[in-house]
Structure 1
Amino acid sequence: MSDHKTAIVTGAARGIGLATTHLFLAEGLSVAMVDRDAEELQRAADGLERVLPLPYDVSIPEQVDAIMAETIQHFGRIDCLVNNAGVADFGPIEDTSFARWRTVMETNLDGVFLCSQAAIPHLKKTRGAIVNIASISGLRASTLRVAYGTSKAAVIHLTQQQAAELGEYGIRANCVAPGPVRTKLAMAVHTPEIIDAYHDAIPLNRYGAEDEIAHVIAFLCSDKASYVTGQLISADGGFESTGIGLPAVRAKGDFA
């Protein structure tokens, strides 16, 4: 078995997954980078040491098996699985066909289940960790997120199921629920009005950064979190904690 701890990060070609990959590498881990966008994945992996780019789809069982087999063949061990791959497809309930629903569920929920199941035998050997990436949308309902929000709520509960059953093998399972994060995609689709509204609603008055989410993920994968399992951390600037409050009231303290 290699001396380098190894992490599998899905959705690693960009955003939070790529930021997490860079942080793991800085901390001395090897990383199997998984993403179904083969071209973007290769660009992200170019120039990086101790990485294995794997252009696979986490919603396809046979490809998930290949992820595990090739990671073991290349690195010899799996210490941490970060289930970050996700599909964001927003739209009204009435316009959400079953096909759209399944497209979201296949990656956001099925992918987490499949990758975790396939990694368990290897994580038993290392007494490793699973970190599932949900979303604040799994904790607080919002318009246009019937499939996305439901998939992320299911991931939160799946994490607790994993923690309850896998703890006896020394495997820890935790969940991170990011709030609004300043990714290229978010900035491309969020209008100035949406950005201002988020700033008003978030106690820290700003979007999060990809690196800030990555640091939470890395902590949960590390020995520093050796007694932490079955937990949800909302890395959201306080958004979820004040979900029922009015920003104007919080700012003024005026209930009149």
Structure 2
Amino acid sequence: MSAVVSIGIAAAAGADVAARLAPEVERAGFHALWVNDTPGADALEVLAAAAAVTEHLVLATGVLPMDRRTPASIIEQIGALGLPEERLALGIGSGSGGAVGALDRMRDAAAALRAGSEARVVVGALGPKMRRLGADASDGLLLSWLTPDAAQAQSREAHSVSAAAHIALYVRAAADPAALDRLDVEAERYAGYPSYAANFARLGIRSRDTVLRPDGFAAGLDAYRAAVDEVVLRAIVAGDDAADYLAFAEAAAAAV
């Protein structure tokens, strides 16, 4: 069975963009709208704008860093914003707080969020220890920057730990040739981060091999859908207007 397909944006795109995009994402039949939490922009606030104009679309964060947030503050904010917990998926990550204690910190955070809200919790993970923890101690994993083969191998590994684990995969994607420069910059930026560089080296892949480009978009999406439970098309667009994101969603819907 092919994976469900979702759309992802950065919180920096803003609440206005999310409010215009979310109803179209829902109407097109996508599973969820994922919002990256970025410095200076709040994923939960952006999702609140999307929640107000949708009825059943899943609302997800990818990811809330546990070095900048606490489970208690997240639970409090969910309540203050009136987010629909039955539609909410909290992607969490260890952030840049260092490797020491990261596994315990993430295990504790997942447990606290699951106990304090009705939202599903998925763990953003690169290495095998964090992937195993996510499959065992949360509702699933959020993977990123993988080829279809690598994603399938990690998905099978996680399902061997927990058959019920939901495996989502962020795939940076450009549907418009005018967005290719931004896509390449994004790939090179992540290739320069030490943790991602180490992961690419460990897997023997390059960041540029893990993205979807306009040429071969549909075929590439099919390959990813065969590998995991959910493919999140992280929209890389030429401009920053809502129209750019709406055009991406329309092109992505045609490829599903």
TM class by shorter chain equals: 0.3 to 0.5
Considering fraction of residues, name the structure with more strand: 2
Larger radius of gyration between Structure 1 and Structure 2: 1
TM-score w.r.t. the length of structure 2 is 0.38
TM-score w.r.t. the length of structure 1 is 0.38
